[in-house]
Amino acid sequence: MLTRRLLSLLDLRAAIAVAVLLSAAVLVPILLLATPQNFPLHMPPYVVALLGKYLCYAILAVALDLVWGYCGILSLGHGAFFALGGYAMGMYLMRQIGTRGVYANPILPDFMVFLNWKALPVTWWGFDWFPYAMLMVLLAPGVLAFAFGYLAFRSRVTGVYLSIITQAMTYALLLAFFRNDMGFGGNNGLTDFKDILGFNVQSDETRAALFSVSALALIVAILIGRYLVTSKFGKVLIAIRDAESRTRFIGYRVENYKLAVFTLSAMMAGVAGALYVPQVGIINPSEFSPAQSIEAVIWVAVGGRGTLVGAALGAVLVNFAKTWFTGALPEYWLFALGLLFILVTLFLPKGILGLIDHMKRRTAPASIDGDVQNGATAAR
Amino acid sequence: MDEATLTSSLLYLDGVAVSFDGYKALRGLSLTLAPGEMRAIIGPNGAGKTTMMDVITGKTRPDEGVVFFGGNQDLTQLDEAAIAELGIGRKFQKPTVFESHTVEDNILLALKAPRSARATLFGKPAPDTAERIDRILATTKLTDHRARMAADLSHGQKQWLEIGMLLAQDPKLLLVDEPVAGMTDAETMQTAELLREIARDHSVVVVEHDMDFVRELGVKVTVLHEGAVLAEGPLDQVSAEPQVIEVYLGR
Amino acid sequence: MRSVFARVFLTLSLVLMLAPARAADVDLKSALSGFLADSFPSTQKAIEAVVQSGSSQAPAIIEALQDERLYFARDAQLVAYKTKGGELREAATGGPVATTPQDLKQVRLNNRLRGIVNAAVGALTLMSSNPERRREAANAVFKSRDASTLPTLDSAIAKETDPATRTALEQARASVILAKSDSSDAQKIDAIGVLRARGDQDALAMLSAVAAGPETLEKSAAQAAAAAIETRLALWRNLQNVWYGLSLGSVLLLAAIGLAITFGVMGIINMAHGEMVMLGAYTTFVVQEYCRTSAPGLFNYSLFIAIPLAFLVTGAVGVVIERSIIRFLYGRPLETLLATFGVSLLLQQAVRTIFGANNREVGAPSFMSGAFHLGGLEITYGRMWIIVFALVVFAALQLLLRFTSFGLRMRAVTQNRRMASSMGIDTNRIDALAFGLGSGIAGMAGVALSQIDNVSPNLGQSYIIDSFMVVVFGGVGNLWGTFLGAALLGVANKFLEPFAGAVLGKIALLVFIILFIQKRPRGLFALKGRAVEA
């Protein structure tokens, strides 16, 4: 029964995505750990870390697609949830440094010793215990999203207004986290991590494991997303996106639906951030900057909003382009990104997956109905 | 408040006033609808027809006056979703259906069933769901279009789909705002027939400009003017009243 | 030291009052001869004698000595000083020295003598013929509270005709009397009254010292006076905060007012609005660069050239953006948001490529620099003119919208596009022009901002969120709302800062606005009714 429901979640695209991610989760560690350095397909650790980072962004994109693509909530503050998850993980990693820090304080992280703090602030209590930290990875973004969403959706702040206040939210957090007395490392953030669960974060084995976990997490994110959007709940979300007040008049409490999907999406973003931090090795307030959140929106737009898999694909593609540009033509990356924003919204409103649907329809006019049908299912 | 009228009525409005920035959209509107009754509301532009609908469905809160449903439910204290759950369905002037859903899914969403997020996420559909959908599609003549996207329907079909969604809600009271605007004559007549059929087991309030259509319905008419009731009665009697003629023709 | 000063000033003041001008010339010559000896005691005598001479040359000589510009040549029996320009003048007459003697040497000073010279300068300037110099000297005495100046002060007060200078002298005297241990109670209480009338931070410090001192008759008077001054100062501080707040508000208004047109009136969300401001600031930079290299005389007028130019440049950029991108996205606000964010990235990077990533120096013309006092307020000219500018722009915009045919058509289009179109209004053209207008105003805001903020490619980023907050807070579609929103947020920000610090204050405001929007989703001055719901 459960397997049948699981299989029903996998339309063609989701199936391909899951298959690709599963094989990556297996192959990449092999290519990193079990192949000699001179083997042509050998993956150096930095590439694995980079790919792992892309996957974390892909999870963020899937989370964003759930609220934007399906429910029409354009959040310009999802980077804040990502960053909160990241900080929760970063705090765990800081506590694992122990006496190996510069000041060798067994309890206090270096920056607190540097600031002359005598005791660990309450906010840091319990973060040396992994399960608690993981709970916070979900709760910190979840509670913020719930509180914010409760206020915003109940008073029916919608559309551009909502976008602007989500942006203001992440901006306020950016300013707050820059402050030293917030106790989260201020400007420099949290870095110089040593161990995660007793394994060296820098070692190849840990990198490989983190990559695989990220790939699995992305699969889970896509499956959760598919479960949501193929259920009646998902149909209500789309109904809200298309005609909010109509949905109210047939008796759905729109604010509850929005709140549920917004909170869930924020938690998903938090998980993405938590996986991101050990692979990148640092978390600092710049993750809260409004520009980061808007950039995540363009990943979703590029891949095709309202497709989940497309959002993940967009995140990987855009970030790959970013890596390439900042290496080869650093001057031109912002030009490229700016153009991407403009061109995608003008000419590719349904993203790459939408374009593929469109081309399929053209090349196979005989089977138009079937394709429309598939495309429509996929677009849900 | 007239206690006897209140308890025997399905919908009871008394002294309802609404103003927007000094503009009085409704000024002391009173209206009573008996259970099972079908009523046509007419009136020139700005008479307050749509605002009245907004008040009944919880979109607009009245500044003054009482609005009761079923004799004991104070509608001014409830939001749209709660009012819809009580059994008041509304059809908008401009057809609003869920364009990126299929016709079938549109009906499914409207179908009377638990509305909570938990229920739609984890709950199982009632066993008679498919059967009820089929019945409504047949009533609204949309069976052949059930798998099409609502966006691809013609204007008239969208109006019918919306009426179908209202039926799916199985409300005690239907509020229908200009159902035949933009329809062909044939469609208009068919719609009138459809509404009469619905009125057999539902109470209906129809707001309409089209006099032929109102005549076709053959029900009691209420004339609104400047946010209050001007006249009430059968169409022929109402249209003979001098102040109605003045409002409609005297301008 | 004290006794030396006392002697100098006592004699000095007597001589200044009594000595006839004629005798001074003779005295001066013999006084000057003391400098020729090149010994400290003799120099000291010479200084005292010069001051006593009361000669009109005395201030110039003593000042030269203070700056070590006084020279002597023993063979030629010449004492001379160099002017600040380096010209050598004869000390006795002030006339030029024809030939510079070979053995010209500087008059040497030691620390003791420097003290004497400084006191002499103070005393001489108290009697200076220039009222401004006299006021400066009085203020110096007010701070030094040197008891030895008392006789000079008394005589200066007696002679003083300028009321402002007289007050300054009296305040100086009061400060000295209060500091002197042997002043009578009545004198001290008078002095407290004078200081209370002065009512500034310095007076407060002096009075508080007395109020905290031993139980004396004047203690309670000082306490009352200090309390009165504190209340007054608190009032002025609040007023000063209001002023700072209005100044910030005017900046917010300038940045937000263009947005109020594009977002508030036209419903277009333009994320590149901040970059329009930035372009305006760079236009100012370019204009100033041109003035510096090609027409230095125009520098003082550079802002007047930059304002219309910035309006045209950013207005044109705005029209191009509207025609090439935004018009395809009408009715899709979220897509407009994304596309214009792309535009903002492009503009930022373009400016970074052309002008570099670093801050650019934009100078302030002379009328923008400096400050003046208004009661207890310090008002800088730069800020003041920006407030004036913001008000002028706002007023001009209101007039434009209300009384021109363009304004009429624009309002028509925003209220009912189809109706306007069928009335023969070219809605496309109005859209483009209105967007250009909003952008152009942002450009003018950039000119003003270039005077108070760093001109860098990121300039716009720091204002865009604040601008949106102002527009949303004030109520979309309502220019007066924007006006009041900007003023309120500006003032609130400045009042929060002392309690919470700049950053926390800002966070508090953002949180406040986020909560505020929940309560009143359409802002302070929302339009109600059916039209809005559409």
pLDDT digits (tens, 9 = 90+) for A215-264: 999 999 999 999 999 999 999 999 999 999 899 999 999 999 999 999 99
Asked whether the predicted pLDDT for residue C513 surpasses 60, the reply is: yes
With CB atoms and an 8 Å threshold, state whether C529 touches B50. no
CA angle B132, B134, B139 (to 5 degrees): 95
Q: Give the pLDDT score at A235.
A: 95
C82: β partners: C88
Mutation target among C522, C528, C532 for the B interface, most CBs of B within 10 A: C528
Q: Residue A8 falls within a domain, yes or no?
A: yes
A275 band by pLDDT with thresholds 50, 70 and 90? very high
C100 pLDDT more than 60? yes
Q: Residue C406, Cα to own-chain centre: how many angstroms?
A: 39
B50 and C530 within 8 Å at the Cβ level: the answer is yes
Closest CA in chain C for residue B20:
C529
A69 or A9: whose pLDDT is higher? Answer: A69
Domain that holds residue C35: 2-184
pTM given for the model:
0.81
**Beta strands in A152-214, from DSSP E residues, in sequence order:** 190-191, 195-196, 199-200
CATH code at position C396:
1.10.3470
Whether residue C395 sits in one domain with residue C267: yes
* Residue C219 counted as domain residue: no
Kindly indicate the confidence band of residue A369, based on its pLDDT and cuts at 50, 70 and 90: very low
> Average pLDDT, stretch B47-74?
89
Q: What's the pLDDT score for residue A123?
A: 92
Same domain for C179 and C294 = no
User: Cβ contact (<8 Å) for C529 and B21?
Assistant: yes
CB-based burial label for A370 (10 Å; 0-12, 13-18, 19+): exposed
Inform me whether the C-beta atom of residue A253 falls under 8 Å from chain B C-beta atoms: yes
Which of C168, C184, C200 terminates a domain? The answer is C184
Residue B204 near residue B198 (C-beta atoms within 8 A): yes
- Amino acid identity of residue C395, one-letter, is A
CB contacts of B147 in chain A (<8 Å) are 373
Residue A75 pLDDT greater than 80, yes or no: yes
Give the pLDDT confidence score for residue C18 in this predicted structure. 42
Q: What is the pLDDT of residue B250?
A: 53
A338–C515 CB contact, under 8 Å: no
Q: CA of B124: which chain A residue's CA is closest? A: A232
Is residue A372 in a domain?
A: no
pLDDT score for C311: 96
Q: Do C244 and C385 share a structural domain?
A: yes
Q: Taking 70 as the threshold, does the pLDDT of residue B130 lie above it?
A: yes
Angle at C201 between CA C199 and CA C205, to 5 degrees: 100
**Domain's final residue, options C184, C201, C225:** C184
* Per-residue pLDDT, B2: 64
CB contact under 8 A, C529 and B23: yes
The pLDDT tens digits for B172-229 are 999 988 888 778 888 888 888 888 888 888 899 998 877 788 888 888 999 988 888 9
Q: What would the two tokens of residue C477 be?
A: 């579609």
Chain A neighbors of B79, CB-CB under 8 A: 248, 253
DSSP string, C56-121: TTHHHHHHHHHTT-EEEETTTTEEEEE-TTS-EEETTT-PBPSS--TT-EEPP--HHHHHHHHHHH
Mutate to test the interface with A, among C325, C467, C518, C533 (most CBs of A within 10 A): C518
Q: Which chain C residues touch B20 with a CB distance below 8 Å?
A: 528-530
| C338 to A298: CB separation less than 8 angstroms, yes or no | yes
Residue A69 · residue A62 · CB < 8 Å: no
In chain A, whose CA is at the least distance from the CA of B102?
Answer: A376
Q: Report whether B223 contacts B238 (CB < 8 A).
A: yes
Name chain C contacts of B25, Cβ cutoff 8 Å. Answer: 530
Instruction: Provide ipTM, 2 decimals.
Output: 0.88
Query: If pLDDT is split at 50, 70 and 90, which confidence band does C234 have?
Result: confident
In a domain, C195, yes or no: no
Q: Is residue A379 part of a domain?
A: no
Chain B interface disruption, residue of A246, A255, A257, A261, most B CBs within 10 A: A246
Q: Of all residues in chain A, what percent carry a pLDDT higher than 70? A: 94
> Under an 8 A CB cutoff, do A249 and B105 touch?
no
How many structural domains is chain A composed of? Answer: 1
Question: What is the per-residue pLDDT across C34-61, written as a single tens digit (0 to 9) for each?
Answer: 888 888 888 888 887 787 676 777 778 8
Q: In this structure, are C178 and C295 located in the same domain?
A: no
pLDDT of residue C350: 94
Q: Are strands B203-207 and B173-177 parallel, antiparallel or unpaired?
A: parallel
Q: Do B169 and A260 touch (CB under 8 A)?
A: no
- C17 pLDDT band, cuts 50/70/90, is very low
CA of B50 vs chain C CAs: smallest distance (Å): 10
For residues C132 and A65, the model is more confident at: A65
Asked, for residue C42, whether it belongs to a domain, the answer is yes
Q: What's the confidence (pLDDT) of residue C529?
A: 40
Average pLDDT, chain C: 83
Here the CATH number for the domain that contains residue A287 is 1.10.3470
The answer to whether A17 and A9 have CB atoms below 8 angstroms apart is no
| Contact call for C527 and B21, based on CB within 8 A | yes
> Which residues are bridge partners to C374 per DSSP?
C377
State whether residue C532 sits within 8 Å of chain A by CB. no
The C-alpha of C527 sits at a distance from chain B's nearest C-alpha, in angstroms, of 8
Nearest to C222 by CA among C206, C233, C236, C234: C206
Residue C370, pLDDT score: 83
Please indicate, yes or no, whether residues C167 and C298 belong to a single structural domain of this protein: no
Does residue C433 have a pLDDT over 50? yes
Which residues 6+ apart lie within 8 Å of B13 measured at CB? B29, B30, B31, B32, B52, B55, B56, B65, B66, B67
Supply the DSSP symbol for C522: T
Q: Does C323 touch chain A (CB under 8 A)?
A: no
Give the amino acid at A312.
A
- Residues C270, C170 share a domain: no
Inter-chain touch C529–B20, beta carbons under 8 Å:
yes
Using the predicted structure, report yes or no on whether residue A375 has a pLDDT greater than 90: no
pLDDT above 90: residue C3: no
CB A258 within 8 A of CB A240: yes
In the prediction, which pLDDT does A378 show?
35
Q: What is the dihedral of CA A6, A9, A14, A20, to 10 degrees?
A: 0
Contact A259, A173 (CB under 8 A): no
Cβ within 8 Å, pair A168-C269 = no
- C348 and C251 fall within a common domain: yes
Looking at the fold, whether C176 and C241 belong to one and the same domain comes out as no
Whether residue C205 lies inside any domain: the answer is no
pLDDT at C95: 83
Decide: C373 and C379 in contact? Cβ < 8 Å: yes
The pLDDT assigned to A304 comes to 93
Tell whether C145 and C53 lie within a shared domain. Answer: yes
Task: Classify residue A380: in a domain, yes or no.
Answer: no
pLDDT value at C244 more than 80: yes
Distance from CA of C381 to the nearest CA of A (A): 31
* Residue in B85, B96, B102 closest to A246 by CB: B96
Strands C371-374 and C377-380 come out as antiparallel
Q: Which of C184, C202, C219 is the last residue of a domain?
A: C184
C179 and C295 in a single domain? The answer is no
pLDDT score recorded for residue A136: 97
Look at residue C253 and give its three-state secondary structure. Answer: helix
Are C253 and C176 members of one domain? no
Q: Which stretches does DSSP call E strand in chain A?
A: 190-191, 195-196, 199-200, 282-283
* Structural domains counted in chain C: 2
Cβ–Cβ contacts within 10 Å for residue B182, how many? 14
Does residue A317 lie within any of the structural domains? yes
Residue B19's closest chain C neighbor by CA? C529
At C168 the pLDDT is 85
Is residue A359 over pLDDT 50? yes
Higher pLDDT, B187 or A127: A127
Per-residue pLDDT, A91:
96
Q: Are residues C295 and C378 in the same domain?
A: yes
Q: Is B45 on the interface with C (CB under 8 A)?
A: no
* Domain-embedded: residue C525: yes
